[in-house]
């Protein structure tokens, strides 16, 4: 039996786009009788993180989703992330990077940086040069020493996805493990074999596939689903047209009605049709999913 997952970041309450992706991740797993786990990706904890995460979990349950086992909080996994990072360091696959954010932006936009990739400014510094940067008080991030070759990963909706692996950050300069490392390690340790997430992360997939290969982890199967966009075509964000379950329920919508709205956006229900999760499981066909973003109609989500 395979395992699917949904892994929100507790930076803000889930908007309709997040809920739609969570519903899809659940449908991919449950429609084939697979297990489904929930992980809170709270690497960068804030004072509000615990409360936001609790609301996210409650919202997913409110639209009917269930999961197997307790919710895993990524912040509890720091020791494991460091253990895997040490393996990459010992293998000579990393290097410290002292660049500031401004320097990274400028380097990524330079003509010699392919596709905006980090051009390896700190890759081949001498010991003396590294000591000089450390003496300036520059904290070091840790980057992957990639070989610049293309890596191909398979996506259930997009087919073969090929990208040149950048020298991605594995640990930030504040000591926090970076997303690419943590997501690969946690998916492996949880036994996740199918990753369903928004297609804004499609470009990151070759790098994560490469990390799986370096660590001897079996790659999961990926399925990157279309985003939800605002009426102006921009992706939903906290300050740009997002609508949360709390806002919709305050305006008189029930969680079941919100689930039906999401189902209709996926072609799994008629507009306004009440549908339960059993109905959606019976109708779900990954091959028939929309491939284009869902643009919110303000009339349908007026709050």
Do residues 144 and 85 both lie within one domain? Answer: yes
pLDDT, average across residues 69-81: 97
Q: Is 79 exposed, middle or buried (0-12, 13-18, 19+ CB in 10 A)?
A: exposed
Using DSSP bridges, classify how beta strands 169-171 and 141-144 pair: parallel, antiparallel or unpaired: antiparallel
pLDDT of 234 higher than 90: no
Do residues 21 and 66 both lie within one domain? Answer: yes
Q: Which two tokens stand for residue 4?
A: 């699917």
In a domain, 194, yes or no: no
Q: What is the pLDDT of residue 147?
A: 85
* Count: domains in the chain: 2
Q: What is the pLDDT of residue 194?
A: 97
d(C-alpha 276, C-alpha 56), whole Å = 20
Do residues 104 and 153 both lie within one domain? Answer: yes
**Which one, of 288, 220, 300, lies nearest residue 257 by Cα?**
300
In a domain, 95, yes or no: yes
Give DSSP secondary structure letters for 202-257.
GGGHHHHHHHHHHHTPPPPEEEEEPPEE-TTSPBPBTTBB--BHHHHHHTT--HHH
Q: Which two tokens stand for residue 154?
A: 């398979």
Query: Residue 14's domain spans which residues?
Result: 3-70+226-295
Give the start-end residues of each E strand in 140-209. Answer: 141-144, 150-155, 159-164, 169-171, 194-198
Final residue of a structural domain among 179, 202, 217: 179
In a domain, 186, yes or no: no
pLDDT, average across residues 127-154: 94
pLDDT of 43 higher than 80: yes
Q: Provide the 10 A C-beta neighbour count for residue 291.
A: 9
C-alpha atoms less than 13 angstroms from C-alpha of 37 in its C-beta half-sphere: 23
pLDDT of 26 higher than 90: yes
pLDDT, average across residues 245-263: 95
* Cβ–Cβ under 8 Å, residues 231 and 241: yes
Higher pLDDT, 295 or 238: 295
DSSP designation for 177: B
Residue whose entry in the numeric block shows the structure tokens 């919100």: 258
pLDDT in tens, 76-129: 999 999 999 999 999 999 999 999 888 887 776 666 555 667 888 999 999 999
**Residue 287 φ then ψ, to 5°:** -65, -20
Q: What is the pLDDT of residue 279?
A: 96
pLDDT in tens, 176-213: 999 999 999 999 999 999 999 999 999 999 999 999 99
Q: Helix crossing, 179-189 with 78-90: angle to 10°?
A: 110
pLDDT, average across residues 58-67: 98
In a domain, 196, yes or no: no
Do residues 268 and 237 both lie within one domain? Answer: yes
pLDDT, average across residues 247-267: 95
> How much of the chain exceeds pLDDT 70, in percent?
93
CATH code for the domain of 62: 3.40.50.620
pLDDT, average across residues 277-288: 97
Average pLDDT, the chain: 92
- Name which of 69-78, 96-105, 163-172 the model is least confident about: 96-105
């Amino acid at each position: 039996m395979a395992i699917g997952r949904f892994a929100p970041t507790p930076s803000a309450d889930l908007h309709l786009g997040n809920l739609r992706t969570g519903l899809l991740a659940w449908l991919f797993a449950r429609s084939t009788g697979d297990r489904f786990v929930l992980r809170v990706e709270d690497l960068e904890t804030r004072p509000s993180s615990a409360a936001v995460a609790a609301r996210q979990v409650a919202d997913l349950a409110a639209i009917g989703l269930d999961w197997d086992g307790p919710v895993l909080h990524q912040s509890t996994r720091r020791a494991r992330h460091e253990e895997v990072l040490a393996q990459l360091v010992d293998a000579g696959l990393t290097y410290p990077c002292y660049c500031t954010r401004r320097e990274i932006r400028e380097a990524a936009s330079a003509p010699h940086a392919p596709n905006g990739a980090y051009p390896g400014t700190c890759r081949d510094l001498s010991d003396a040069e590294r000591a000089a940067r450390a003496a300036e008080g520059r904290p070091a991030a840790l980057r992957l020493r990639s070989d610049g070759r293309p890596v191909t990963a398979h996506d259930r909706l997009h087919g073969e996805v090929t990208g040149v692996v950048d020298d991605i950050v594995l640990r930030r300069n504040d000591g926090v493990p970076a997303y690419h490392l943590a997501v690969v390690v946690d998916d492996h340790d949880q036994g996740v074999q199918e990753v369903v997430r928004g297609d804004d992360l499609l470009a990151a997939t070759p790098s994560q596939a490469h990390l799986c290969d370096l660590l001897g982890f079996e790659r999961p199967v990926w399925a990157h689903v279309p985003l939800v966009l605002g009426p102006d075509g921009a992706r939903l964000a906290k300050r740009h047209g997002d609508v949360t379950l709390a806002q919709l329920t305050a305006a008189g919508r029930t969680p079941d009605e919100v689930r039906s709205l999401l189902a209709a956006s996926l072609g799994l229900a008629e507009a306004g049709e009440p549908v339960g999760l059993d109905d959606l499981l019976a109708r779900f066909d990954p091959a028939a999913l929309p491939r284009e973003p869902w643009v919110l109609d303000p009339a349908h989500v007026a709050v």
